[in-house]
């Protein structure tokens, strides 16, 4: 058996995350095992989507975060890593300046990826090996700055699109009715000819909603259950959600707009349930990274 560690750094609009995973090769097969996950609520989107650039204060926090991640990777003995930034840095006027500053001070090299590459990585059907891929899915990944939608048919991604609808944008009232209508039209167009379709949801918010629902692992969450949770959350204050439901402060506000997006996707697609594999961009990054390495036969 051979075990190597890889790290994936996901620089999102709401939080910055680093996943360290064990990649285990044994008897000609490869297994993935989450080893450690660190999440820092820097919320770059607050700057990028409102003022158009990342503030010096948050740049400093980014540098400190990447320095900490580098030390953690050394302690864990990580073989290789990737660091991808999504919509917040993609749209910031000083996004390139930020990644150059981070590289100079921490040695962490960040790549800004577009929505299409992001969707391709996180909707890789091979990452969802616990699901029945004979079913047709509308894949929905809700982030802070954007939401990726894909159609997965027979395990293949046949079409995808990224829209500038995300939880941080919604909190700052930066999503127009026109964008909502574009999302509705896209979903209806690409799902109307399927007699039955299911939602496949990823992202920190749907993972938290799934846990709150108390559903057995592998089973989907229904529209009715998700809507009931939304009604419950809506009646609570920001502080009550933190204290009574033990939500992190940076989760307590974004979870409501995230739930809205999933509920709308269910309505517009005609789907009745959401499957939640509890995987995301960082999981896809790990798999993409090791794909070039042949499975060890040791």
Claim to verify: residue 135 and residue 231 sit in the same structural domain: yes
Residue 266 · residue 226 · CB < 8 Å: yes
| Band (132; pLDDT cuts 50, 70, 90) | confident
109 belongs to a structural domain: yes
Claim to verify: residue 152 and residue 235 sit in the same structural domain: yes
| Band (119; pLDDT cuts 50, 70, 90) | confident
Report the distance separating Cα 191 and Cα 116, nearest Å.
Answer: 19
Region of poorest pLDDT, from 172-176, 267-271, 276-280 = 276-280
| Band (122; pLDDT cuts 50, 70, 90) | confident
| Band (129; pLDDT cuts 50, 70, 90) | low
Residue 88 · residue 12 · CB < 8 Å: yes
Q: 75, 41, 81: which is closest to 61 by C-alpha?
A: 41
182 belongs to a structural domain: yes
213 belongs to a structural domain: yes
Claim to verify: residue 177 and residue 270 sit in the same structural domain: yes
pTM for this prediction: 0.88
**Mean pLDDT for the stretch of residues 234-239:** 97
Claim to verify: residue 149 and residue 263 sit in the same structural domain: yes
Claim to verify: residue 154 and residue 95 sit in the same structural domain: no
Claim to verify: residue 60 and residue 158 sit in the same structural domain: no
What is the number of domains present in the chain? Answer: 2
User: In this model, does residue 123 exceed pLDDT 70?
Assistant: no
Claim to verify: residue 72 and residue 155 sit in the same structural domain: no
Residue recorded with tokens 């209806």: 188
Residue 86 · residue 246 · CB < 8 Å: no
Residue 178 structure tokens: 């026109």
25 belongs to a structural domain: yes
Claim to verify: residue 260 and residue 286 sit in the same structural domain: no
Sign of CA dihedral 210, 243, 167, 186: positive
**Mean pLDDT for the stretch of residues 228-256:** 96
295 belongs to a structural domain: no
Claim to verify: residue 57 and residue 165 sit in the same structural domain: no
Claim to verify: residue 256 and residue 286 sit in the same structural domain: no
What are the residues whose beta carbons fall under 8 Å from the beta carbon of 178, sequence distance 6 or more? none
Other residues' Cβ atoms within 10 Å of the Cβ of residue 280: 23
Residue 187 · residue 265 · CB < 8 Å: yes
139 belongs to a structural domain: yes
Claim to verify: residue 148 and residue 86 sit in the same structural domain: no
225 belongs to a structural domain: yes
Report the distance separating Cα 156 and Cα 126, nearest Å.
Answer: 9
**Mean pLDDT for the stretch of residues 9-38:** 94
Sign of CA dihedral 248, 252, 254, 258: positive
CATH code where residue 149 lies? 3.30.420.150
Q: Which residues pair with 147 in a beta bridge?
A: 142, 163
Claim to verify: residue 152 and residue 270 sit in the same structural domain: yes
Q: Which residues pair with 161 in a beta bridge?
A: 149
Is the pLDDT higher at 245 or at 294?
245
Half-sphere exposure of 244 (CA within 13 A, CB side): 9
- The boundaries of the domain holding residue 21 are 2-114+282-290
User: In this model, does residue 211 exceed pLDDT 90?
Assistant: yes
């Amino acid at each position: 058996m051979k075990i190597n560690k890889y790290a994936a750094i996901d620089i999102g609009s709401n939080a910055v995350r680093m996943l360290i995973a064990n990649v285990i090769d044994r008897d000609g097969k490869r297994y993935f095992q989450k080893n450690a996950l660190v999440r820092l609520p820097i919320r770059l989107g607050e700057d990028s989507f409102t003022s158009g650039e990342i503030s010096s204060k948050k740049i400093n926090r980014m540098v400190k975060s990447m320095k900490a991640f580098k030390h953690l990777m050394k302690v864990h003995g990580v073989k290789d890593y990737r660091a991808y930034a999504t919509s917040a840095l993609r749209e910031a006027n000083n996004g390139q300046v930020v990644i150059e500053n981070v590289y100079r001070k921490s040695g962490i090299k960040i790549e800004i990826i577009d929505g299409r590459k992001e969707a391709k990585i996180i909707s890789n059907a091979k990452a969802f090996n616990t699901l029945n891929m004979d079913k047709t899915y509308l894949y929905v990944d809700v982030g802070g700055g954007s939401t990726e939608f894909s159609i997965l048919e027979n395990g293949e991604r046949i079409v995808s699109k990224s829209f500038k609808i995300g939880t941080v944008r919604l909190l700052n009232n930066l999503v127009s009715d026109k964008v909502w209508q574009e999302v509705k039209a896209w979903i209806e167009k690409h799902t109307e000819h399927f007699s039955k379709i299911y939602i496949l949801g990823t992202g920190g918010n749907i993972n938290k909603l799934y846990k709150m629902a108390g559903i057995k692992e592998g089973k989907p969450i229904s529209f009715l259950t998700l809507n009931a949770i939304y009604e419950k959350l809506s009646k609570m204050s920001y502080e009550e959600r933190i204290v009574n439901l033990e939500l992190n402060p940076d989760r307590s506000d974004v979870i409501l707009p995230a739930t809205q997006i999933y509920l709308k996707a269910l309505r517009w697609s005609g789907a009745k349930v959401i499957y939640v594999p509890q995987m995301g961009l960082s999981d896809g990054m790990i798999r993409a990274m090791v794909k070039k390495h042949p499975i060890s036969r040791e």
